[in-house]
Amino acid sequence: MSRQNTARVAIVGGGILGCAAAYHLARAGVGDVLVLERDELNAATTSQAAGLIGQLRTSAVKSAIVGQTLADIATLEADGLVSGFKRTGSLRLALTPEREAETRAQVAAARRFGVDATLVGADDARRLAPGLEVPKDHPAAWMPNDGYAEPYTLATAYATAARRGGVTFATGREVLGVRVAAGRARGVTTGGGEVDADAVVIAAGAWSGVIAARAGTAVPAFPVRHQAWVTAPMDWLTPTFPVVRVPDRLAYLRPEVGGLMLGFFETTPLGVDVAARADFAVAATPRDRDVLTAHAPGLMEVIPGLGEAPVVGGTAGVPTYTPDGHFVVGALPGVAGLFVATGCCAHGIAGAGGVGRALAEAVTGEAATLDPGPMAPGRFGAQAWDALWVRVACEETYARYYELVRR
């Protein structure tokens, strides 16, 4: 445990976004960075993520954010680190004419963004993912460079690389608040004393809004439960089975230790107000198997073999969502020297690299590589202070995650 009490940049939160921000700050030459984590690194929502890394997005900035993560993975691996990334490729299925139209538009956009994406027919989809039963009259999108990462492994690689760059990590140091004087962040107060810093970054996941509010500013994001389940191994599942997204069933799946990890987006989401639950821990996120019971039959129409494997485990976390589905990254309004990186909207692992780089550029004042406008923390104006509006809007973003044409 580090007791360093000064830093050029203090980062609140040691999940994957905090680790990626530290990594990119170190790469930008800011070695005097202190990451403060109240628990162990990557022990909260990062550890509960599915880790999908997909580039099929509806905006250039969203696609570039993921592209930066893939570039980071290549760099980390070249430096001898284990990233946990599996380049399986990914399929996005269309089961209706309306979804097919959306898929065609998304593939065309992805190509404009420089992503390797193509449309494939039912025979090719079954060849790429044996066991799928897909309609012959609707093509699927195929992205060969997509895949998934083991979240803890990738986050640890970021942390290790950041340490090599001079970053200090202090676990077991809970940040109680940001110290603000004359309208500027001056550091943070922890359970073990004060830390002076020229800049403070809030990357505390579900707790980002709570910490920002104590500093007199607002973060337009709210945590919403997301669950996934893991099946027992299945003999028919091939080692090269890709990530598969089935928006018309509100579902995605990927390989997991010989079985499959299944995730569903709930139409009646559960927002989790951590500000009202002082003792809340991600490990205690309530789980609801009824969600699996409700959604699994529809998914088994697409993958009949799921019916032969029992569910043997699962995850539940509280990723933060935003009213428009974009990250919240950059300088917080009203407090100079205070920055935030949150609002992952289920893309925290996929977007870690792009978010980390955008955050580092905001802190250092370097020219932005990615368009910061869609991620700007102040983009909602006064509405960001309306806690009820933020919560309802964020829960709606979750519930409509796979709604046609939304992303």
326 within 8 A of 345, measured Cβ to Cβ: yes
For the chain (407 residues), the mean pLDDT of every run of 10, in chain order, is 83 98 98 95 94 92 96 98 98 97 96 97 96 94 98 98 97 96 97 96 97 97 97 94 98 96 96 90 92 95 93 96 97 98 96 98 97 97 97 97 74
225 within 8 A of 23, measured Cβ to Cβ: no
Query: What is the four-CA torsion angle of 210, 215, 218, 224, rounded to 10 degrees?
Result: -10
Give the whole-angstrom CA distance, residue 96 versus residue 248.
8
Under the phi-then-psi rule, with left for phi > 0, alpha for psi from -120 to 50, and beta for the rest, what region is 324?
A: alpha
Q: How far is CA 150 from the centre of its chain?
A: 13
Burial of 168 (0-12, 13-18, 19+ CB in 10 A): middle
Give the whole-angstrom CA distance, residue 354 versus residue 53.
12
User: What domains, with CATH codes, occur in the chain?
Assistant: 6-51+151-221+323-385 (3.50.50.60), 87-146+224-321 (3.30.9.10)
pLDDT for the residue numbered 405: 62
334 within 8 A of 252, measured Cβ to Cβ: no
Give the whole-angstrom CA distance, residue 279 versus residue 306.
37
Give the whole-angstrom CA distance, residue 268 versus residue 318.
15
The structure's pTM equals 0.96
- Phi, psi dihedrals of residue 201, rounded to the nearest 5°: -115, 125
* CA distances to 52, 87, 103, 108 from 112, in Å: 22, 22, 14, 7
Give the whole-angstrom CA distance, residue 370 versus residue 354.
8
Rg (C-alpha) for the chain, rounded Å, is 21
Q: Can you spell out the DSSP letters for 14-68? A: -SHHHHHHHHHHHHTT---EEEEESSSTT-SHHHH---EE----SSHHHHHHHHH
* CA distances to 201, 337, 340, 357 from 194, in Å: 15, 17, 20, 27
Give the whole-angstrom CA distance, residue 326 versus residue 375.
6
Q: Around Cβ 64, how many Cβ atoms within 10 Å?
A: 22
pLDDT for the residue numbered 382: 97
pLDDT for the residue numbered 296: 95
Give the whole-angstrom CA distance, residue 347 versus residue 327.
9
